[in-house]
Structure 1
Amino acid sequence: MANIEKKILIVEDEPDLLKILADKFSNEGFGVTTAGDGEEGLTAIAKDKPDVILLDIIMPRLDGMSMLKKMRQEPANKDIPVIILTNLADSDAVVSSLEHGVFDYLIKTDWQLAEVVNKVKRRLHMN
């Protein structure tokens, strides 16, 4: 039986980081969709139904927490795992994100690419 490709949505407003993450997950066999802000992220969720979302917090137009709250209002999106990737080390933001069903919260300066991939794979029971 062939493996079914898992879909990941990466919502990040820093183009270089977005490309690095997208390339890495693509190389790991994921179907990758990207968005540069929360508005694009919500559109991508509706269109592509990702299996997991990597979400930045501080973004233009619609920030990550607002996107998270809006997406969780849709019953079909309540169980999509979300991993926050942010520079924001604010404990209130961590608590708020966890209250909205975030699987993990990673500070951008504290993680390595392989760690993010492993967390996603572990959450999707791929390893």
Structure 2
Amino acid sequence: MTAESRGRILLVDDDKFFLKVMSDAFTGAGFAVVTAGDGLSGVETYAAGVFDVVILDLIMPRMGGVSASLEMGRLAREPEPIFILLTSMFQGAPHEHPIPEMGAKVHIPKSTSPLDIVIIVEQLLERKRRGAGAA
């Protein structure tokens, strides 16, 4: 299975070290990864490509994760990607909302290990693929 068939991930975060760690985790799991260093760059990158999952930091310079995810949602093509917000503002378990909150249905604490984030993304993509196959 090629990286393209596993999925394309857009990672948007102003922390270069965190981007590298997350990028390595997803690449190691066979995903194709594109990164952006802030929300505005993330929107520009998103508009120029097609992604299965977009993972954004909540607080970034130039444009935060909420504004960026809302703008990406406005630009979304079918099928719409899975939008995930990472934040250090809460420490609870990752959770999913039935309708988007702050531009994303999935919120994950930034303290979650990169490998756990990869597993969560894999599960979300598999569920999305199963749901699309049933339609």
TM-score by length of 1: 0.82
Q: Tell me the CA shift for residue 47 of structure 1.
A: 1.6
In 2, distance between residues paired with 1:30 and 1:78?
Answer: 18
Question: How much does 1:84 deviate?
Answer: 1.1
1:41-60 equivalence runs, <5 A: 41-60=42-61
Aligned pair count reads 120
Counterpart Cα distance in 2 of 1:77 and 1:21: 26
Contact 1:72 1:78 in 2 (8 A): no
Structure-2 residue corresponding to 1:35: 36
TM alignment of 1:58-97, pairs within 5 A: 58-76=59-77, 79-89=80-90
Which residue does 1:24 correspond to in 2?
Answer: 25
Look up the SS of the partner of 1:22 in the other structure: helix
Identity of counterpart residues, as a percentage? 32
Question: Residues 64-92 of structure 1, C-alpha deviation per residue, up to 9 Å, x if partnerless?
Answer: 11101111112417821011111123xxx
d(CA) in 2 for partners of 1:11, 1:64:
8
Asked whether the equivalents of residues 26 and 33 of structure 2 are also in contact (C-alpha less than 8 Å), the reply is yes
Q: Pairwise CA RMSD of aligned residues?
A: 2.5
Task: Please give the secondary structure, in 2, of the residue aligned with 1:76.
Answer: coil
| 1:34 match: secondary structure | strand
User: What letter matches 2:100 in structure 1?
Assistant: L
Deviation at 1:108, TM superposition (A): 1.4
Q: TM (normalized to structure 2)?
A: 0.78
> Structure 2: any 5+ residue segments left out of the alignment?
91-95, 128-135
Higher strand share: 2
Unaligned runs of 5+ residues in structure 1 are none
